[in-house]
Structure 1
């Protein structure tokens, strides 16, 4: 735990020199205590509840329905057996985004552009709930630090790098596919 936090401080200052946005995003990725994780979920739940109230008061039915579905997913996750697993509220939101993206593609394949546009507007609402994502440059710096720390030498060590990156970057990147591509570039160089 101490190694992760000192590494976070070191990398945060490195990123802060080039891009100030990286500093806040990287610190968010290192909330390692269980109490901080619970508080983050509670804060996100409270933010969603407040958004539901404001959207209901302003008469935005689509936004209200999307926010209620996200809240239902989070509550279901908490009450089900999946609560024992390490699934965050932001992961549930990403899951909802992925579902809607797949639906939009299916609607377009069926020549239902109107329904595809509705799905895309719901995706925008869900994206507004997620924290800002790290840039590719910050991901590259973090992967470089991980590579040096574990002594990775080539593409054969991609699995080791991705294992560490997955634990360190889980909430601050929307797609581990992007992290994988950056890691492949760095390890093949």
Structure 2
């Protein structure tokens, strides 16, 4: 079982990424929540992993937070929930936010996941309630705070990706561009500002 991978992010086309570990490239499927957290191409990443083995394929799933992997493992044990649906759930919710929906019996929230209908949501809530009864959620932010935080992370990711692409187009190496962008980025920076500051850093 592959439990943990650390290496250089060399390709990022969500939901699939490629991580180079000592010259070996691992194709890993990740949820969008992890995509926002791992940074840009060229960055060093560490992912908690789960390997799904089937007769016709082997798929490796990766998560930035270990609790996301733990929840993924719980989800794929539920009736009618495969890896694809579990990944969709963790792309829609932070793990703690999903647990809140389960505790609150929030069918409407679960139905917001692509591919999950009302009957599936109701069955999932029933199955997950006992499994998640000991999951601690007291320290979590409110759903609105979480939404704002995720939106800001998404915007930052777009700006950083655009700036890195521009630097690479100017002739800088991906790893060099990634390091400069991540070093100088500050909240609410525009792409142009980030490029200018990154050039000074390089």
TM-score normalised according to structure 1 size:
0.28
The structure with the largest helix share of the pair is 1
Q: Which has the higher contact order (CA 8 A, sep 6+)?
A: 1
